[in-house]
């Protein structure tokens, strides 16, 4: 019972194709808290998200990731999902031939010991879709196939709502959303927030954070966290940009 309830990233170094991208990240996400990671293009935000989820192209060369005390650094992505981790992608893939309903049911069943009854599943799915203002027909459409940018993001949040992860990583969930869709997606996330779930929101812009209120803000530049603060840090970045955090150029 002594295990820590937290997603803990310790001194994480990650290499992609012979290049060190993350250079020692320390970050702890507690259940019930929202952490935002902000930073300029190419800073390593998506690299962190993919590494957390166990993408094979991202090699951890130093450090580790602990989920409620269990070292998941070497775990396969499906085992991480089972352990309660979820990633909403910056660029969701389409899966031709697989309907949303089938995809979601398979994903839900993969994370629980007993399969959910088809009836309960449909009921929950319809409720969650209504919450996200998704038309029923989406259940029968192939995953992300021909979805607009905003529809893809909603599909990601629907997946999160169905899986009820303990820790969710949302990578640029705001990109491609118009202002109404942004609010719907944020409402969807907020509806899931509670003492049970910890969230890591990755975003360039402060705008999303008007809707999903972070408890903590971290700035990721050049593979390192260069500043930590509260919501006021996001506002400051909106005004001043990332320039003062950029490493001095080699030139
Ligand atoms: N598969 C890859 N192959 C080569 N380089 C990569 C790969 N993935 C990431 N990188 C490099 O790692 C650096 C960080 O990329 P990453 O996608 O993590 O940045 P980001 O902070 O998410 O940027 P953005 O805000 O544009 O989404 C970039 O220089 C990128 O080119
Ligand atoms: Mg990115």
Which residue's structure tokens are 């719907």?
A: 184
With a cut of 70, say whether residue 186 has pLDDT above it: yes
Take atom 16 of ligand 1 and give the residue whose Cα is closest: 44
H or E element at residue 67 = strand 59-67
pLDDT of residue 10: 98
Take atom 9 of ligand 1 and give the residue whose Cα is closest: 47
pLDDT confidence of 249, banded at 50, 70, 90?
low
Q: Which residues' Cβ are closer than 6 Å to ligand 1?
A: 16-17, 21, 39, 41-47, 57, 90, 204
How high is the mean pLDDT of the chain?
90
> Which of 6-20, 54-68, 167-181 is the least confident region?
167-181
pLDDT confidence of 47, banded at 50, 70, 90?
very high
The CA–CA distances, whole Å, from 67 to 9, 31, 202 equal: 9, 11, 19
72-128 confidence digits (pLDDT tens) = 999 998 899 989 999 887 677 888 899 999 999 999 998 888 999 999 999 999 999
Instruction: Give Cα 99 distance to the centre of its chain.
Output: 22
Take atom 18 of ligand 1 and give the residue whose Cα is closest: 44
With a cut of 50, say whether residue 1 has pLDDT above it: no
126-171 confidence digits (pLDDT tens) = 999 998 889 999 999 999 999 988 888 889 899 999 999 999 999 8
Pocket mutation for ligand 1, best pick of 13, 43, 203 (most atoms within 8 Å of C-beta): 43
pLDDT of residue 109: 92
Ligand 2 geometric centre to CA of 172 (Å): 7
Ligand 2 geometric centre to CA of 215 (Å): 21
pLDDT confidence of 17, banded at 50, 70, 90?
very high
DSSP notation for 209-245: HHHS--SEEEEEETTEEEEEE-HHHHHHHHHH-SGGG
Q: From the CB of residue 76, how many other CB atoms can be counted at a distance below 10 Å?
A: 11
Q: Distance between terminal CA atoms of the chain?
A: 53
Q: How deeply is 114 buried, as exposed, middle or buried, from its count of CB atoms within 10 A (0-12, 13-18, 19+)?
A: exposed
Q: Looking at the chain, how many residues does it have?
A: 251
Ligand 1 atom closest to the Cα of residue 50 is 18
The CA–CA distances, whole Å, from 51 to 12, 26, 75 equal: 9, 14, 11
pTM of the predicted model, to two decimals? 0.90
109-118 confidence digits (pLDDT tens) = 988 889 999 9
Closest CA to 31 of 196, 165, 169: 196
Q: Which structure tokens are listed for 25? A: 């990240």
With a cut of 80, say whether residue 174 has pLDDT above it: no
In whole angstroms, what is the distance from residue 224 CA to residue 227 CA? Answer: 9
Q: Which CATH architecture has domain 7-91+164-245?
A: 3-Layer(aba) Sandwich (3.40)
Cα-Cα-Cα-Cα dihedral sign, residues 87, 93, 205, 211: negative
């Amino acid at each position: 019972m002594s295990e820590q309830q937290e997603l803990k990233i310790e001194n994480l170094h990650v290499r992609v194709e012979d290049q060190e991208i993350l250079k020692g990240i320390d970050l702890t996400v507690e259940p019930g808290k929202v952490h935002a990671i902000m930073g300029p293009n190419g800073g390593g935000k998506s690299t962190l998200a993919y590494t957390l989820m166990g993408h094979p192209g991202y090699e951890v060369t130093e450090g580790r990731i602990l989920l409620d005390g269990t070292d998941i650094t070497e775990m396969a992505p499906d085992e991480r999902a089972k352990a309660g981790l979820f990633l909403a992608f910056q660029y969701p893939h389409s899966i031709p031939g697989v309907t949303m309903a089938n995809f979601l049911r398979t994903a839900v069943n993969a994370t629980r010991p007993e399969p959910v009854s088809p009836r309960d599943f449909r009921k929950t799915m319809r409720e969650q879709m209504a919450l996200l203002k998704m038309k029923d027909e989406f259940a029968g459409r192939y995953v992300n196939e021909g979805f607009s940018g905003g529809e893809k993001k909603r599909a990601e949040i629907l997946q999160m709502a169905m899986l009820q992860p303990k820790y969710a990583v949302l990578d640029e969930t705001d990109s491609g959303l118009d202002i109404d869709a942004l609010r719907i997606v944020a409402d969807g996330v907020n509806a899931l927030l509670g003492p049970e779930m910890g969230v890591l929101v990755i975003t360039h812009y402060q705008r999303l954070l008007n809707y999903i209120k972070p408890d903590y803000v971290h700035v990721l530049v050049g593979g390192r966290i260069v500043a930590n603060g509260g919501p006021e840090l996001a506002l400051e970045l909106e005004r001043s940009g990332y320039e003062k955090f950029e490493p001095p150029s080699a030139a």
